[in-house]
Amino acid sequence: MALQSSGDGVSEAEIARRYIRELSERLIAVPDDQVLDAAVKAISEICGASLVLVSRVFDTRQPVFAYAIHDRIGGATAYQYPLRGTPCEQVFKNRQPFIRTTGIQDDFPEDADLEAMSLTAYAGIPLEDADKYCMGLTAVLWQEEPQHPYATVEMLKAIEPRLVAGVQRLDEEKRKAHELELRLDEYVSRMDVALAFSEIGVWDYNIDTGELVWDERMYALYGRSRSDAALAYEAWLSTLHPDDRVGAEAAVSEAIGRKSRFDTQFRIILPDGAMRWIRAAGRVVEISTGQTKMIGCNWDVTRDVEMQTLLAAQKDAAEAANEAKSQFLANMSHEIRTPLNGILGMAQLLRRTQLDERQDYFTKTIISSGDILLALVNDVLDLARIESGALTLDREVFSLSEIIQSVCNTLAAPARAKGLQLIAEADLAEGDYRWGDAKRLRQVLLNLMGNAVKFTDVGEVVLRVERLEDAVIRVEVVDTGPGIAQDRQAGLFDRFTQLDSSNTRVHGGAGLGLAICRELVTLAGGFIGVKSAQGEGATFWIELELPLASAPNAADDGATGASTSHAATHLNGSKILIAEDVAHNRDVLVEALKEHGCDLVAAADGRETLARWREGDFDALLVDLHMPRLSGDDVIRQVRAQTGSGERVPIFAVTADASLATRDELLQLGADEYFTKPVDLDLLIDRLKLHLQSSTRV
């Protein structure tokens, strides 16, 4: 296109250069994302155009969108038009600049916008990218004949690369926006489906106006319809259960005040009078209009609340039943221990008399049978304590070798009676002293070793101790018994499980021992298991963490031993008060202490005990817990209150109550020792000697 001279003698080329220079100056500092709008405005002002637009053409059959427009006629900011029958169509199809300085309406009679906006002149160029793909066009239109249309076209050509970049940027933004819209539509669709199936209602509360907007599910939740009166915050409050209204309103008010979230639960009263539990959650948001809203959701939790209520009731019932069971077991333990104390106590005393071989056998049988019954009672109580979480482990320093020796000594006689060899294998040159619960460890080992001796008829039983790490030991009990079939091992540590539950089984037992072993080992953080096969014997093993401890001071041990030895004859002449309401249990204590030359006074109830105490100057008091007229704990409390700080008289609590809580309570009240019936008389005598030796009264 050849540039002509203007009427004032200035060439069109010079005008074009001036246009381009001015446009460049105007756009040099404009960011790329604003260049289209800035360019159409600058072009309009430079060449005096009435309308300038940058159009994007995707499909000639579809309306054309103006990506940027500057309209000095009507001030339009958005514009779309059909391409067909317009000068823009000629530019796009021919991919050539097109100029009409006048009569444009006559040339394109189908373009109604030309006449509507009184446009008479046109100049336009196609917009092509680097690959010569025509993306659209730039058009400049006038209501009067333009002064420099050719210079305008040159200006458009000069700015074309930047306009193309602007169009491409808008294309990318629109593509991303379209993808986002599709994802949003998909998200909304999924959310709508999720809300529909979950029956969650969504609400919108305008804090400024008090207007409350519900979706359909909210109306369904509250048993209302859209035909009801317009909702407001106060109307919602009126649906709440009177007892929940204050709490719900406080939760909402706090969230509004802090502009935060809220999550609460309340009951609503439906129009038919029925009640429904609602869970409500929401948050405060500020929208672009400057309004503050709270947006949230409601859902029906009636079934959840009812289930929680039911579970709570069942839990309470289970706890009550468990408490009743524990109390029953404690009562039964007490009732069994009381006569058992008389049986075993008298049997112990009987063995100290001159007996022939047959009488001695009878006495041993009584004691052995009583010990079995006592072990069963203790197992049942341990199980009850474990179930209730009341069983705790002590932490003390003990000798592992002494535990092993004690277990082997206890089982030596029954093993010897069956012709079994009892072997202990333990390398304890180092690491003999440990931290742990010696009593419970001995209980576990006795149970495992006792089972091995019981089920083994020929051969040997081996107790093997191995150090895995400094603080970890592994104990194995290996026997040459009949072994255990693989299919019987899974339930071996379950409660009340026996390998042979038939009526003709050879070995008895309640099936509690291994279950208690597992519970105790697990409570200590250890592991227990079995390795066996039918006909190949069995190996029961445990692994426990028992931290290393320092050996007790030898000098202290010697001093203790000396005191105990010196106290061997110290009971002779000691004045001891025995408080026991059951006659045969009272007689057991009296007869046992008579042998040691004690001066004994007996009382049958609590009040008599206190009266006797005030009358005599006693060296020790042995008191039962459950006595008529005044309980043993009250006796201990009053005796300690009446005794001066310098006259600490030993008090031994002797009771059939095996509760750990009772033991702790009595020791705190002032008892020095706690013995559970049936009493080991030898141990009681030894402890009494020790206390009297160190008593401040001596």
**Average pLDDT over the chain, rounded to an integer:** 85
Provide the CA 402 distance to its chain's centre, in angstroms: 42
The Cβ of residue 108 has, within 10 Å, a number of other Cβ atoms equal to 20
- Band of the pLDDT at 78, cuts 50, 70, 90? confident
The helix (run of H) or strand (run of E) holding residue 604 is: none
Task: List the structure tokens of 570.
Answer: 């110290």
- Of 40, 22, 124, the residue nearest 77 (C-alpha): 40
By mean pLDDT, which of 1-5, 478-482, 491-495 is the weakest? 1-5
At 342 the pLDDT is: 83
More confident residue, 495 or 635: 635
CA angle, residues 297, 300, 301, in degrees to nearest 5: 115
By mean pLDDT, which of 288-292, 455-459, 577-581, 626-630 is the weakest? 288-292
- Band of the pLDDT at 40, cuts 50, 70, 90? very high
At 545 the pLDDT is: 92
Superfamily, domain 564-694: Response regulator (3.40.50.2300)
Phi first, then psi: give them for residue 363, nearest 5 degrees: -65, -45
- Of 538, 526, 495, the residue nearest 513 (C-alpha): 495
Task: List the structure tokens of 461.
Answer: 């039983």
The percentage of residues in the chain with a pLDDT greater than 90, rounded to a whole number, is 45
Which fold does the domain 392-545 belong to in CATH?
Answer: Heat Shock Protein 90 (3.30.565)
User: What is the average pLDDT across 570-597?
Assistant: 90
Alpha-carbon separation of residue 518 from 383, 421, 501, 635 (angstroms): 11, 26, 21, 40
Q: Which own/partner pairs from 379-382 qualify as long-range (CB within 8 Å, at least 24 positions apart)? A: 379/510, 379/512, 379/513, 379/516, 380/329, 380/333, 380/510, 380/512, 381/329, 381/330, 381/333, 381/658, 382/516, 382/519, 382/520
At 556 the pLDDT is: 46
Task: List the structure tokens of 62.
Answer: 């579809």
At 565 the pLDDT is: 40
At 501 the pLDDT is: 46
At 135 the pLDDT is: 93
Phi first, then psi: give them for residue 265, nearest 5 degrees: -140, 140
Given the candidates 3.30.950.10, 1.10.287.130, 1.10.357.10, 3.60.140.10, the CATH classification of the domain at 323-385 is 1.10.287.130
At 270 the pLDDT is: 93
Q: What is the 3-state secondary structure (H, E, C) of 399-457?
A: EHHHHHHHHHHHHHHHHHHCCCEEEEEECCCCCCEEEECHHHHHHHHHHHHHHHHHHCC
At residue 112, what is the residue type?
A
By mean pLDDT, which of 5-9, 195-199, 656-660 is the weakest? 5-9
By mean pLDDT, which of 281-285, 360-364, 508-512 is the weakest? 508-512
- Band of the pLDDT at 195, cuts 50, 70, 90? low
By mean pLDDT, which of 52-61, 181-190, 674-683 is the weakest? 181-190
CA angle, residues 131, 137, 141, in degrees to nearest 5: 160
At 125 the pLDDT is: 96
> Cα(535)–Cα(523) distance, rounded to whole angstroms?
32
At 198 the pLDDT is: 66
User: What is the average pLDDT across 583-594?
Assistant: 90
User: What is the average pLDDT across 260-264?
Assistant: 90
At 172 the pLDDT is: 92
Given the candidates 3.90.650.10, 3.30.450.40, 1.10.260.40, 3.65.10.10, the CATH classification of the domain at 12-176 is 3.30.450.40
More confident residue, 76 or 470: 470
At residue 695, what is the residue type?
S
Residue 154: pLDDT over 90: yes
At 381 the pLDDT is: 76
> Cα(606)–Cα(660) distance, rounded to whole angstroms?
23
pLDDT in tens, 397-431: 998 888 898 888 888 888 898 999 999 998 776 66
pLDDT in tens, 522-539: 999 999 999 998 888 999
> Cα(303)–Cα(442) distance, rounded to whole angstroms?
51
User: What is the average pLDDT across 30-47?
Assistant: 93
| Helix and strand numbers, DSSP H then E, in the chain | 21, 23
Strands (DSSP E) found in 357-459: 396-399, 421-426, 433-436
By mean pLDDT, which of 71-80, 325-334, 645-654 is the weakest? 325-334
- Band of the pLDDT at 310, cuts 50, 70, 90? very high
Task: Identify the DSSP state of 568.
Answer: G
Provide the CA 120 distance to its chain's centre, in angstroms: 79
User: What is the average pLDDT across 19-39?
Assistant: 93
CATH topology agreement for domains 12-176 and 199-300: yes
> Cα(65)–Cα(90) distance, rounded to whole angstroms?
16
User: What is the average pLDDT across 559-566?
Assistant: 39
pTM: 0.50
At 656 the pLDDT is: 87
User: What is the average pLDDT across 175-198?
Assistant: 77
Residue 463's DSSP bridge partners are 424, 477
The percentage of residues in the chain with a pLDDT greater than 70, rounded to a whole number, is 90
By mean pLDDT, which of 96-110, 224-238, 472-486 is the weakest? 224-238
Which fold does the domain 199-300 belong to in CATH?
Answer: Beta-Lactamase (3.30.450)
Say if residues 452 and 491 touch (Cβ distance below 8 Å).
Answer: no
**Domain range summary for the chain, segments of one domain joined by +:** 12-176, 199-300, 323-385, 392-545, 564-694
Residue with tokens 């320093």: 397
Q: Rg of the Cα trace of the chain?
A: 50
